[in-house]
Structure 1
Amino acid sequence: MTQTIERRSFLRAGAIGLAGLGFTGLVPAWARSGSPGLAPTLPTLSGEDIRLRIANTAFTVGGRTGHAVTMNGVLPAPLIRLREGQNVRLHVENTLDEDSSIHWHGLIVPFQMDGVPGVSFPGIKPRSTFVYEFPLRQSGTYWYHSHSGLQEQQGHYGPMIIDPAEPDPVAYDREHVIVLSDWTFLHPHQLVTKLKAEGGYFNRQKQTVFGMLRGGPEESMSASDRAMWGKMRMDPADIADVTAATYTYLVNGHGPQENWTGLFRPGERVRLRIINAATMSIFNIRIPGLPMTVVSADGLNVRPVTVDEFQIGNAETYDVIIQPTEDKAFTFVAETIERSGMARATFAPRLGMTAPVPPLRPRPTLTMKDMGMGGMDHGSMAGMDHGAMSGMDHGAMAAGASAAAADHGSSNSMGGMNMRDKSKVPDSVKVGVGVDAIAMSPVDRTGDPGVGLEDVGHKVLTYRDLMSLTPNPDTRPPQRTIEVHLTGNMERFMWSFDGEKFSEGVEPIRFERNERARVVLINNTMMTHPIHLHGHFFEVVNGHTGSYPRKHTVNVLPGGKVSFDLTADAPGDWAFHCHLLLHMHAGMFRVVTVRPLEGEAA
């Protein structure tokens, strides 16, 4: 066993050496599966001039090989490690036969360098090179990925760490970068085709009578609630569009059986920089037997808060400190929100050690709050005539009736409550075939831990636990409030903002430069949506006035709402979208424009 460990250590050191020579693609993945700590397991690029090459590459996981789009031949792409205050030039060569791009997720850059084709630059044409150049005005944990087509699903993503210019307020002895992602051997356009044909195509955990009788989540539902969901032709287990039916969940490019391992010495403070680079998967993170202290969210420091578990939406990043004191291994668990699968890794004093891998927990089911009834008196609903729901528009829509026909009379009522009541939304929201529900009574859910985590028996992070480590930089009250409704038709896989897809030529959301505004995100769907704004950090309104956590991506829970305060201090045109890639692709995307630009008259 000692010889094996020494050989792996040698190969790992060789991999790091080859990374510097640009030959990482020649090193087998298993030779890079251990991480000793500050010497990174991921190939690393630093300096003022960095070169990235986008290319088609074979990728192997779980004994199968498929096609990937990678940078410098590795998946995930190399770790880019820089320092706050430096100016960096990134030369990106596109060897593909199609356009490509790189978006620097969470970085504050000039909008021409943001990397969104058709919004901030024309894209990187086939067999050409584009040079990104910008100063680094921040520090923290970030990442980068394609904003072209569906290349992100094919492996076009990587981590980025910016070390602070001043001493880091977070003390730690060792760190590990953890890139979470989801991999499928299906082409991403096949995913879209299958979801368009059947919204629940990948849902293998549908509600069943057998589950009700044998202790499944259905058992805890009342007969009237089961009847209600049935009448609506909705499945309370429809929590994620794409699941382990096709996905393998990766840690730093390694599947669960490959057991990526990060090392520690007992007693060390170990910093985990966790990045959710998944296309369609929200993860619940825990390390059984080991608490985690959250010290950073989306790259910015927060007041330390110790938890046993937290939910990380697509494109969010969290830094946590763990301090294992025993000479034993611990399992890192990233269980998907719908609990169909998990990414798994190990933290241990030595390579080759393992810890028990917990089984998947029972799948969660949606609740009345997830349906947008969180602000209603649920006690008064007990006597509702659920039979009156039989003709509601969800069923009619699923049967192919037009939105106009579904709106007539009381056919879409639930005991007198209209599930598509247009009076619940402003006139600016277009309620047509692409909107299958409007939340009747949405509530602020920043104090909720996430779908399925309400009663797990231990401390789970909520947004209300987060407070900025330093005072918020802009203390002005918002000058106006803007509502943005998250809308969709789950059965038809149609997704939008305010009932309009981006392809329908919607107007940008406009801000005056340096305007202070409150944006209220209202989720009319029964899925969690991680919403990302480019070019800015915003302050999540969570009750801690003056110390709101500053983020660039926020999870909006089903049937709930999140408010954030924004200082529109970055002139230009910026993408604003759901970071579930296929939702963005289907239309949940807008442009935010901030004017005037430099040199323009106000």
Structure 2
Amino acid sequence: MNAMIDRRGLLRGAALAGGTAAFARWMPAWAQRVSPGLASTLPTLAGEDITLRVAHQRMTVDGRHSHAIGINGTVPAPLIRLREGQQARLHVVNDLDEETSVHWHGLILPFQMDGVPGISFPGIPARSTFTYEFPIVQSGTYWYHSHSGLQEQMGHYGPIVIDPADDDPVAYDREHVIVLSDHSPLHPHQIFLKLKKQAGYFNRRRQTLGGLLQGEDQPLKQRLQWGGMRMDPTDIADVTGSTYTYLVNGHGPGDNWTALFQRGERVRLRIINASAMTIFNLRIPGLTMQVVQADGQNVRPVDVDELQITIAETYDVIVTPHDARAYSLIAESVDRSGMARATLAPRPGMAAEVPPLRKRPIATMKDMGMDMSGMDHGDMGAGVGMNMAMRDPANAPQVRMGPGVQTIAPMVTDRTGEPGQGLEDAGHRVLTYRDLVASERNPDVRGPARELQIHLTGNMERYMWSLDGEKLSEVKDPIPFIAGERVRVTLINDTMMSHPIHLHGHFFELVTGHGDHSPRKHTVNVLPGSKVSWDVTAVPGDWAFHCHMLYHMHAGMMQVVRVRPLDGAAA
């Protein structure tokens, strides 16, 4: 993370914000006064009036320079620290020559303040200022990012921590905010163009004929079946370590970003996946992680050795190092083409062993919604018959069939009890969604009044992504909800890719068997060939509903949820 502030800019920023405290906000990261125990590489902004200046800048990752869009001269953007019950006024100054925006991911607020151009507000024009103002009605770990074009990939993202109005029920001695992200020297529009021309462009780890003949990864017979479906079981991630460097708080693996602790302390790690396209598998070899919060909501503590954190999720974990030594924090990309790496240590300059990348995962028939355990697939003509069955529109009557829908999976299963792709045989405790239980009783425990199915659809070969077979530009009407109604939404993933699905302005309760203590989330990862159900209470407004893989959303995997009172009046 770099601060690019000259003397005039420093004085101008101080004058703009006013006072000594505001002046400190513009100081370089190393000179910041920060909250006790918080890593000093994240400048902190607090109070009722906060100014965020969006501008082009340069950033350095592992000694390599590249272009970025940052806020107040930093990537990630500054940590915004708020308190439950306060009023927030956030003045966003757009120094770009294009529109920008800020979406407050996971925050409950009036929809006009949600920050999605064309849906909840017009956007922030070039060289102008917009003030977001809303009450803070919750606590927890969240984040903020641009919802304009592909700016998020360029560095327009940052963390939010909201302290509870009363004593925090989670006890800890020290905390660190861990912002995970992915960075490429390529402009994001170049990345998208390459994906459109060749969806597997960044997949440099395809299976070889020699490996297949030797029986590595997948039997030849099964690989031929995948070929008949014109799909590649090694396509676990669209954009990989062939172009990405994976970051912790803006630092690459070689930078060895370090968070300090004292032996025996309860250290709270607030982990945010702010990446554009990367699902991470996170572990700290030698330390147990006690998960205490998911998406800003407190959960009953659960001990794990590893967790998969999808794009836009947050997890708070407690670790208690009993030895005065260094520990490596490892966030491995889901396809294992690279990793983000940091160090927990009792003093600066220490480092721990960094484990090698583990063997890449290979997609299975379950990932295609075709878990036919024990069946002989040889009669399927190398997958041709299977492909025809999967494209049968009778299996999904509301899906608009066309070139953008490659498959309709006929045998989807609930996989919320699974740890995520590649972690099935990890050999240690891995978090699943079914492990999460809310600490407190859900605020709305009514049963759903109706059910809604939404299919996650796409054509990987042509890099087309949609909901129910329609990309955003083709949708005629928003998805209608009635204010206050309880709806059970079932997401059905007909593709071979994971999709982190986010509903703006709401928390929903995952249907995982925990009744009135179901975990409440704002984002859920839907594994390939699977389904996930959740119950939600509709909040008035127009809300974005989309896959949080940036290039999937950009390609059209997004719709609008419109919530109106029963009489149809505007919210």
Q: Which amino acid aligns with 1:584?
A: M
Matching residue of 1:418: 389
Superposed displacement of residue 36, structure 1 = 7.6
User: Counterpart of 2:527?
Assistant: 557
Which residue of structure 1 lines up, in the alignment, with residue 4 of structure 2?
none
The aligned residue for residue 156 of structure 1 is 156
One of 20, 24, 40 as aligned partner of 1:21: 24
Residue type of the alignment partner of 2:424: E
Kindly report which structure 2 residues correspond to 1:163-202, keeping only aligned pairs within 5 A, or say none: 163-202=163-202
Secondary structure of the equivalent of 1:246? Answer: coil
For residues 65 and 189 of structure 2, what CA distance do their matches in structure 1 show?
A: 19
2:543 matched to which residue of 1?
A: 574
TM-score, normalised via structure 1 length: 0.89
Other structure's SS at 2:216 match: helix
Q: Give the whole-Å Cα distance in 2 for the aligned partners of 1:512 and 1:333.
A: 44
Which residue matches 1:457? 427
Matched residue type, 2:281: N
1:385 matched to 2:379: yes
State how far apart, in whole Å, the 2-side matches of 1:40 and 1:594 are: 42
1:576 aligned partner, one-letter code: F
Tell me the CA shift for residue 61 of structure 1.
1.2
Structure 1 letter corresponding to 2:378: M
Equivalent residue, structure 1, for 2:8: none
The farther-off stretch of 89-98 and 501-510 is 501-510
1:486 aligns with 2:456: yes
**Take 2:526 and 2:255, find their aligned partners in 1: how far apart are those partners?**
33
Pair 261,601 (structure 1): closer, same or farther in 2 beyond 3 Å: closer
Match of 1:587 in 2: 556
Name the CA distance, whole Å, in 1 between partners of 2:306 and 2:69: 32
Paired residue for 2:134? Answer: 134
Q: Return the letter of the residue paired with 1:23.
A: W
Q: Provide Cα deviations, 1:105-138, integer angstroms capped at 9, x if missing partner.
A: 0000100000000000000011110000000000
Q: 1:20-40: CA deviations, max 9, x gaps? A: 53434x568xx99x9982464
Shift of 1:361: 0.2
| Secondary structure of 2:381's aligned partner | helix
- Does 1:353 find its partner at 2:311? no
- Change in 2 beyond 3 A, CA 1:368/1:19: farther
Separation in structure 1 between the aligned mates of residue 218 and residue 392 of structure 2, nearest angstrom: 26
Q: Identify the residue that residue 9 of structure 2 maps to in structure 1.
A: none
Q: Which residue identity is paired with 2:421?
A: V
Aligned match of 1:82: 82
Percent of aligned positions that are identical? 66
In 2 relative to 1, CA 518–578 (structure 1 residues): closer, same or farther, beyond 3 Å?
Answer: same
1:59 and 2:59 aligned: yes
Shift of 1:598: 12
The aligned residue for residue 472 of structure 1 is 442
Shift of 1:541: 0.5
CA distance in 2, matches of 1:597, 1:134: 26
Q: Deviations over 1:539-574 (max 9, x none)?
A: 010111111100000000000000000011x21100
Counterparts of 1:318-329 in structure 2, within 5 Å, are 318-329=315-326
Q: Does structure 1 conserve the Cα–Cα contact (< 8 Å) formed by 2:213 and 2:220?
A: no
How many Å apart are 1:223 and its aligned residue?
3.2
- The corresponding residue for 2:17 is none
- Residues 29 and 42 of structure 2 are in contact (CA less than 8 Å); yes or no, is this contact kept in structure 1? no
Aligned residues: 551
Contact 1:315–1:553 (Cα < 8 Å) also in 2: yes
Distance in 2 separating the partners of 1:523 and 1:498: 10
Alignment correspondent of 1:400: none
- Aligned partners of 2:490 and 2:509: how far apart in 1? 12
Counterpart Cα distance in 1 of 2:118 and 2:567: 20
Gapped regions of structure 1 (runs ≥ 5)? 1-16, 393-412
Aligned-pair Cα RMSD in Å: 2.0
Residue of structure 1 equivalent to 2:207: 207
1:294 pairs, out of 269, 291, 294, with: 291
State the 1:63 CA deviation. Answer: 2.3
The alpha carbon displacement at 1:210 in A equals 3.2
- State the AA in 1 paired with 2:61: V
Aligned residues of 1:61 and 1:255 also touching (Cα < 8 A): yes
User: Among residues 242, 250, 265, which one is paired with 1:268 in the alignment?
Assistant: 265
CA shift for structure 1 position 221: 2.5
- How far does residue 229 in structure 1 lie from its aligned partner after superposition? 1.4
Contact 2:80 / 2:159 at 8 angstroms: preserved in 1? yes
Cα distance in 2 between the residues matched to 1:505 and 1:541: 28
Does the aligned pair in 2 maintain the 1:44–1:78 contact within 8 Å?
yes
Distance in 2 (alpha carbons) for counterparts of 1:535 and 1:36: 31
Shift of 1:212: 3.8
Q: Is the 8 A contact 2:212 2:219 kept in 1?
A: no
Q: Give yes or no for contact 2:178–2:249 (8 Å, CA) kept in 1.
A: yes
Amino acid at match of 1:189: H
Question: Deviation digits for residues 362-409 of structure 1, max 9, x if unmatched?
Answer: 1000011101023xx4212x25324353xx3xxxxxxxxxxxxxxxxx
| Aligned-partner Cα distance in 1 for 2:175–2:183 | 25
1:229 paired with 2:226, answer yes
Verify: 1:107 aligned to 2:77, yes or no.
no
- Post-superposition offset of 1:596: 2.5
Contact 1:35 1:262 in 2 (8 A): no
SS at structure 1 position matched to 2:516:
coil
Aligned-partner Cα distance in 2 for 1:470–1:353 = 40
Is contact 1:572–1:597 with CA below 8 Å preserved after alignment? Answer: no
Counterpart for residue 401 of structure 1: none
Output the CA distance in 1 between the equivalents of 2:248 and 2:21.
21
**Pairs within 5 Å for 1:232-381:** 232-374=229-371, 377-380=372-375
**Separation in 2, partners of 1:186, 1:598:** 50
* Residue 44 (structure 2) aligns with: 44
In 2, the alpha carbon distance for the partners of 1:601 and 1:361 equals 53
What's the CA shift string for 1:190-226, capped at 9, x where partnerless?
0110000001000011111233467xxx625233212
Q: Name 1:6's counterpart in structure 2.
A: none
Structure 2 Cα separation of the partners of residues 488 and 182 of structure 1: 23
Kindly indicate whether the alpha-carbon contact (under 8 Å) linking 1:571 and 1:598 is maintained by their aligned counterparts in 2: no
Change (3 A) 1:169 1:525: same
SS of residue in 2 equivalent to 1:211: helix
**Aligned-partner residue type, residue 491 of structure 2:** L
Q: What's the CA shift string for 1:64-104, capped at 9, x where partnerless?
A: 21111111010000000010000010011001000000000
Mapped to 1, the partners of 2:326 and 2:22 lie a distance apart of 28
Secondary structure (helix, strand or coil) at the match of 2:462 reads: coil
Q: Supply the distance in 1 between the matched residues of 2:569 and 2:476 (Cα, whole angstroms).
A: 24
Distance change in 2, residues 1:383/1:100 (3 Å): closer
Distance 1:18 1:247, change over 3 A: farther
Tell me which amino acid in the other structure corresponds to 1:278: S
User: How many angstroms apart in 2 are the aligned matches of 1:27 and 1:163?
Assistant: 22
Q: What's the CA shift for 1:242?
A: 0.2
